[in-house]
A = this chain, B = another copy of it.
Amino acid sequence: MNQTTFLLTGFEPFGQSRINPSEQVVQQLATRRFEGFELATAVLPVHRTRGPQTLLTAVQQTNPDAIVCLGEAGGRHAISIERVAVNLMDYGIADNDGQLVQDEPIQPDGPAAYFTTLPVRQLMQAVQGAGIPAELSLTAGAYLCNQVTYELLHYLAQQQRDIPAGFVHLPFLPQQAAVRPGKFPSMALETMVTAVSTILHTLHNHLATS
């Protein structure tokens, strides 16, 4: 019998930030041991082509049973579980290679959108049950976070790989909000680590019982 493997990814810092909560959560969880599953991790570049490529390469190399991608969403107050990824690139800021894309499809022949295939409501309730603010979100934006999710779900659909896969947006870390002029909500790293750990355990139970 095979070991269950989950793939967890984050992003490198971008924009004005020199840190990214998703990278830090991945780094924290990469060193932990989980009962019932192994965790493979990757940190994706914030780069129009290399971001999705790095994710798909990690999928091919780790052959995971479920995939949770993480990213930063400054301005959100809660663990924000995405329901859908759309076939649109409309960057608000340039990627780390300086590329700025407006109103272009990710896959010119792809469908308008994919729904994520994680048990999103169950994950939200589990995170809330752990005393951490969580919400379902109907938009992952039109930047790299949405793009890697769309590319991932497009790849899995084409490969007919029926595994749970999706995206979770994280608020700013306190130290990111501390240096910004606006009134940005934030969340402690340890709270985020607990939330994502709860998501992974809930996902494991979900797979074990479905």
Q: Main secondary structure on chain A at its contact with chain B?
A: loop
Q: Out of B103, B121, B131, B178, which one reaches A133, CB within 8 Å?
A: B178
Q: How far is the CA of A112 from the CA of B87 in the complex (A)?
A: 11
In the complex, identify which listed stretch (A3-11, A56-64, A179-187) lies at the interface while the others stay far away.
A179-187
A91 at the interface (CB under 8 A from B): no
Of A28-36, A40-48, A137-145, the one contacting chain B is A137-145
Interface size on A, residues (CB 8 A): 41
A78 an interface residue at 8 Å Cβ cutoff? yes
The CA-CA distance from A78 to B178 in the complex, in Å, is 8
Question: Restricting to A116-134, which residues have a CB under 8 Å from any CB of B?
Answer: 121, 127-128, 131-134
Bitwise interface map of A from 171 to 205 toward B, beta carbon under 8 Å scored 1, else 0:
00011011100111111101100000000000000
Interface contact A188-B185, CB-CB below 8 Å: no
Report the minimum CB–CB distance from A139 to chain B (whole Å). Answer: 4
- CB neighbours of A100 from chain B (8 A): none
**Which residues of chain B are near A121, meaning CB under 8 Å?**
103
Are B184 and A133 touching (Cβ within 8 A)?
Answer: yes
**Interface contact B177-A133, CB-CB below 8 Å:** yes
A interface residues, Cβ below 8 angstroms from B: 77-78, 83-84, 86-88, 90, 103, 111-115, 121, 127-128, 131-136, 138-139, 141-142, 174-175, 177-179, 182-188, 190-191
